[in-house]
Amino acid sequence: MSTKITINNNGSIRVEGEFEIFDMEGKKFDLNGRSMISFCRCGCSNNKPFCDGAHKSCGFMSTIEARTLPPIPQK
Rounded Cα gap, residues 35 and 12, in angstroms: 16
User: In terms of Cα–Cα distance, which of 6, 8, 33 is closest to 20?
Assistant: 33
Which residues lie below 8 Å from residue 64, measured CB to CB, with a gap of 6+? 7, 9
With CB under 6 A as the rule, give the number of residues binding ligand FES: 12
Look up residue 9 and give its DSSP letter.
Answer: T
Nearer to ligand FES, 19 or 50 (CB): 50
Among 14, 16, 42, 49, binds ligand FES (CB under 6 A): 42
Q: Which stretch binds ligand FES (CB under 6 A): 14-22, 25-33, 50-58, 63-71?
A: 50-58
Contact status: 15 vs ligand FES (CB under 6 A): no
Residues that bind ligand FES (CB under 6 A): 11-12, 40-42, 44-45, 51-55
